[in-house]
Amino acid sequence: MADLLVHFASGFAAGRPLRDGRLRAILYLGVCLPDLLYKGLLYLGGAPNWLCEPTHSPLGLVLFCYAAAMLFEEEWRKRAFAALLAGAYLHVLFDLGKNYLGAGVILWAFPFSMETVELGWYYPEDTIAFMLPALGVILLVELVGGLATRFSGPRPAAP
Amino acid sequence: MFSNRHYRWKLGAAIAAIALLGVLAARRGEAVNPMLWRCVAQPERWQGARLWIPFARIVSVRDASYEIAAGDPEARIRVDGPAPGKPGDLVTLTGTFRADGPRLEPDRSRAFPPRFRLRWLVEAVSIAVVLGVLANLARHFLFRPKLLQVEGDPRG
């Protein structure tokens, strides 16, 4: 949960074009989900680090998102699953850019392989410096989204 | 797949599969990047193991080596080569475990910059973000019987 503002900003930018506020709310949850699950298992569950790693692996996230989607009402489950998974994959994509001295933390092919990957573009603590730009992105996206809505007409009311 | 038919079985199977993946990762990951305290406790078993230590504190510095403390439970180990910082500094490193000593042959290492100490701020903001996201989700999906009653009341 070290840098959720940056993750949220990425989800906010990706989700702003969605016209349904409920779908956006699920996408925002999805973008926080990998860290919520990881830290929840680690600190609340007292689980060892490796046990938590499937929360940041593509196949593991399919199962986590499926279980979470099943908690929604029946007609919402498919959309909830898609939004949660899209948000979670966006999160993993951003984490992929981190530099852990080549050790990597994303088990991209788990459970078929224990190979970890990283792109090494930025150090984890660099996210402190990304916080203000992330806020800027959120404000900019909101501003552009608001202007786009004004010129394209009002959004349809939620049923 | 998403219907209410066999709902409990489907949810149970997903949770069971998640638990299975976690156990599998824990068992297979143990040998990939073992905890430092395990290596120090059984040096011969972990001879040649590749280690990644995400956070460690430099305890002491010598001419050609330095000592670090890392992990929970905390373990100490000597690391070959020049120290990336002074005693008390936080470092991260990768390397190969050697049973003689025991010691660590570093591959890559670096000291965390001063801004790392502001990590509490990022954690606090992250918790606020999670609370905001959950509040937004609740606003859209929380079941509110009282509201339904008022909206469903033909007199209202």
Confidence of residue B60 (pLDDT cuts 50, 70, 90): very high
pLDDT at B72: 79
Given this model, what pLDDT does residue B62 score?
A: 92
**Confidence band for A158, pLDDT divided at 50, 70 and 90:** low
Considering only CB atoms, which chain A residues are within 8 Å of B94?
101-103
- Is the pTM higher than 0.90? The answer reads no
Mean pLDDT within A129-153:
89
Element containing residue A107 per DSSP (H, E): strand A106-107
8 Å CB contact of B112 and A125? yes
The answer to whether B16 faces chain A, any CB pair under 8 Å, is: no
Q: Which residues neighbour A7 within 8 Å (Cβ) at sequence distance 6 or greater?
A: A31, A32, A35, A90, A91, A94
Q: What are the tens digits of pLDDT across the range A30-70?
A: 999 999 999 999 989 888 888 889 999 999 999 999 999 99
Sequence spans of domains, chain A: 21-97
Helix axes A77-96, A58-69, angle to 10 degrees: 150
Residue whose entry in the numeric block shows the structure tokens 């609340």: A44
Strands (E), chain B: 50-61, 65-70, 75-80, 90-98, 103-111
Q: Cβ–Cβ of B122/A66 closer than 8 Å?
A: no
pLDDT surpassing 70 at residue B64: yes
Residue A92 scores a pLDDT above 90 = yes
pLDDT digits (tens, 9 = 90+) for B95-119: 999 999 899 999 999 999 988 888 8
B119 contacts A125? CB cut-off 8 A: yes
Q: Would the ipTM clear 0.95, i.e. be above it?
A: no
Interface contact flag, B24 A111, Cβ < 8 Å: yes
Q: What is the Cβ-side half-sphere exposure of residue B156, based on CA atoms within 13 angstroms?
A: 8
CA distance B144 to chain A (A): 14
B 65-104 residues with CB below 8 A of A?
92-94
Condensed to tens digits (0 to 9), the pLDDT of residues B25-58 reads 998 888 888 889 999 999 999 999 999 999 999 9
Q: What is the pLDDT of residue B156?
A: 46
What's the confidence (pLDDT) of residue B138? 93
Query: Which chain A residue's Cα is nearest to B130?
Result: A32
Q: pLDDT (tens digit, 9 = 90+) per residue, A61-90?
A: 999 999 999 999 999 999 999 999 999 999
CB pairs under 8 A between A and B: 131
The length of chain A is 159
